[in-house]
Amino acid sequence: MSVEVERKFLCSEDTLKILQKIGDCLGQRQFHDQYFDSPGFELTLRDFWLRKRKGCWELKCPVSTVNRTGELKEEQSLAAKLCTHYKEITNLPEIQQRVKEVIEGPCGDPDTETTPSQEDELWLSKLNLVCFAEFTTVRRSFTLEEGVQIDLDQADFGYHVGEIEVLIPEGGDVHSAQEKIRDAAQKLGLSGDERVEGKMNVYLKRYHPEHYAKLLSAHVL
């Protein structure tokens, strides 16, 4: 399991020129994403994001912001404020177990037990999960230095966004990943000090404003 630390940015012509000059191009690919939740949004309102991309399942889970002494961290550096970090689960039985716990609680209904061999449609319908968002992205990827990836995304609903991403193992040093991202942003000449919206923010605001409003009220977006 890994933790994805990332910062989104709006890519200007100038940023693209710098990236093409100092980055190594990893190529371009296209993928279609489908996101799933219950009709009451029990996953996304808790900041869990269940996705199918190119036939593979992925669950992005929030990482606790409680520190080792059990206190909530109140002070955040600018580097931290501009970044998000999520734990990524890609193993289907683990995803099914985690989703079931989030929706039903730890002592959920044994009737909804899932097994790895079940067809997609069966475990989804047993947990009452439906697709609430789907879109296609064309992504150009670059590396700036070992472990720092830059993705330039163009979604089919007309939104362009860049992201600087560092993957660390679970329990790894989030702070140093955020510092690497800050250094990469400086190299790219990014000066903004506000978080930039991701594809999902823009998609939901445009196509599902009620869902979007609920996520805003729950401070998820």
Which residues make up the interface to ligand V4E (CB under 6 A)?
Answer: 8, 49, 60, 84, 86, 163, 195, 198-200, 221
Strands 2-9 and 159-169: antiparallel
- Compute CA 8 distance to the chain's CA centroid, rounded to the nearest angstrom: 11
Strands 49-53 and 148-155: unpaired
CA distances from 166 to 4, 98, 100, 128 (A): 6, 24, 29, 33
Compare residues 84 and 118 and give the one whose CB is closer to ligand V4E: 84
Compare residues 103 and 204 and give the one whose CB is closer to ligand V4E: 204
Residue 32 CB, nearest distance to ligand V4E (Å)? 11
Compare residues 188 and 200 and give the one whose CB is closer to ligand V4E: 200
Closest residue by Cα to residue 29 from 188, 197, 151:
151
- Helix extents (H) in 40-157: 78-81, 92-104, 120-126
CA distances from 105 to 65, 89, 93, 131, 202 (A): 21, 19, 17, 22, 30
Compare residues 86 and 123 and give the one whose CB is closer to ligand V4E: 86
Residue 31 CB, nearest distance to ligand V4E (Å)? 8
Residue 109 CB, nearest distance to ligand V4E (Å)? 27
Single-letter amino acid code for the residue at 59: L
Residue 183 CB, nearest distance to ligand V4E (Å)? 19
Residue 200 CB, nearest distance to ligand V4E (Å)? 3
